[in-house]
Amino acid sequence: MIAALGAGPSSIETGAWGGSGARERQGGLRGAGGGSGAAEQPRAASDRTPAVSEPALDDRELLAVAREAALAAASELKGRFGRRAHGVHTKSTPTDLVSDADVAAESAIRDVLGRRRPEDAILGEEGGETGAGHVRWLVDPLDGTVNFLFGIPAFAVSVACQAGSATRAGVVLDPIRDECFEATRSGEPTLNGERIHGSEATELATSMLATGFGYDSAVRARQATVVARVLPKVRDIRRVGAAALDLVWCACGRYDAYYERGVHAWDVAAGALIASRAGLEIRDLAATAEDPPGLLAAPSAIAGELYELVVG
């Protein structure tokens, strides 16, 4: 049975991936006056442009909406899993599949969000972006579609809520194991209501890693080169086929670390928030001339060494 969220005090502000990793730390602060050296003089109150007030948000309420939406999608998926799939077609490549289960699960999520948060924007893997509100929901109704279609019980629903540059709440729900991973930007990360914590590994050589591969064959060839470089330096590597699960399994210590390129915001926003709140460091993998961007999640003690191996 999925339990309610427990919350605890903290002050971590989260970025686009949901973590407080390299991007935030490397950003730095600009000096007053844009570096001109002249101090800005204070203006009278009547001369100041009023700040735009944003609507008050309660992260726990957002989390409750995310959980409700994820449960609605999970109900659609559980009823279809293990049966002959319908409406299967390809997207970016012949190996990039989508089915009626993806569409039905996202429709269930959108129904919940439309009822509970009608003014918000939604970015879904299947339905694209709708709305233009200050608050945006990032939705992957079925992360691990290929697993689902082949009858492999390793897939999840991922729902995250962002406001501005901060990920405020995230849920990753595994319908088959009845495991609900949750976090807000200031609360404790939980699995079915119980507090979780990521690995505290200090040596890369004994660390268990997770990764994933793209659909394009040329991208996979380059990813194989990275795996060949990383594998001799770690305990082992696993490839489950669902980025959201990889991240939350890191968050509860089943893996020590994870990296992957070619993921989308809806794949990782919720999982990265949960992993960050569970004590892991989140780092961006910047795009290159040939490779798409990605991210890395790892204990701080091994994050730098793993990052250097991955980027080469």
pLDDT, mean of residues 281-306: 96
Quick one: 85 and 112 in the same domain? yes
Question: Of 195, 228, 251, which marks where a domain is finished?
Answer: 195
Lowest mean pLDDT among 63-72, 81-90, 168-177, 233-242: 81-90
pLDDT, mean of residues 121-150: 93
pLDDT of residue 126: 82
- Residue 99 vs residue 72, higher pLDDT: 72
pLDDT of residue 85: 57
Is residue 25 over pLDDT 70? Answer: no
Is residue 218 over pLDDT 60? Answer: yes
pLDDT, mean of residues 138-155: 95
Residues 145 and 102: beta-carbon distance below 8 Å: yes
Residues 23 and 276: beta-carbon distance below 8 Å: no
Is residue 270 over pLDDT 80? Answer: yes
- Residue 160 vs residue 9, higher pLDDT: 160
Mean pLDDT in the chain?
A: 83
Residues 13 and 184: beta-carbon distance below 8 Å: no
Would 227 be classed as within a structural domain?
yes
Residues 101 and 77: beta-carbon distance below 8 Å: yes
Share of the chain above pLDDT 90, in %: 68
- Residue 135 vs residue 132, higher pLDDT: 135
Residues 165 and 130: beta-carbon distance below 8 Å: no
The CB-side HSE value for 300 (13 A sphere, CA atoms) comes to 7
Q: pTM for this structure?
A: 0.81
Q: What DSSP character marks residue 45? A: G
Quick one: 281 and 261 in the same domain? yes
Quick one: 232 and 149 in the same domain? no
Tokens matching residue 63:
């989390």
pLDDT, mean of residues 97-117: 89
pLDDT-based confidence at 23, cuts 50/70/90? very low
Would 38 be classed as within a structural domain?
no
Would 49 be classed as within a structural domain?
no
Is residue 213 over pLDDT 70? Answer: yes
Lowest mean pLDDT among 50-59, 65-74, 244-253, 296-305: 50-59
Quick one: 190 and 296 in the same domain? no
Distance linking the first and last C-alpha atoms of the chain: 44
Residues 69 and 138: beta-carbon distance below 8 Å: no
pLDDT of residue 54: 53
Domain that holds residue 82: 59-195
Quote the number of domains for the chain: 2
- Residue 296 φ/ψ, nearest 5 degrees: -135, 140
Question: Of 165, 195, 225, which marks where a domain is finished?
Answer: 195
Helices (H), the chain: 22-27, 59-80, 100-116, 145-149, 217-230, 243-251, 265-277, 300-311
The CB-side HSE value for 104 (13 A sphere, CA atoms) comes to 16
Q: How many residues does the chain have?
A: 312
Write the CATH number for 123: 3.30.540.10
pLDDT of residue 93: 56
- Residue 30 vs residue 72, higher pLDDT: 72
Quick one: 75 and 161 in the same domain? yes
Would 134 be classed as within a structural domain?
yes
pLDDT of residue 203: 98
- Residue 264 vs residue 215, higher pLDDT: 264
> Position 56: which residue type?
A
pLDDT of residue 216: 85
Q: Strands of 135-143's sheet, edge to edge? A: 128-130, 121-124, 135-143, 156-163, 166-174, 179-184, 190-191, 194-195
pLDDT, mean of residues 229-248: 98
Under 8 Å CB-to-CB from 157, ≥6 apart: which residues?
70, 73, 74, 77, 105, 109, 140, 141, 142, 143, 171, 172, 173, 175
Is residue 296 over pLDDT 80? Answer: yes
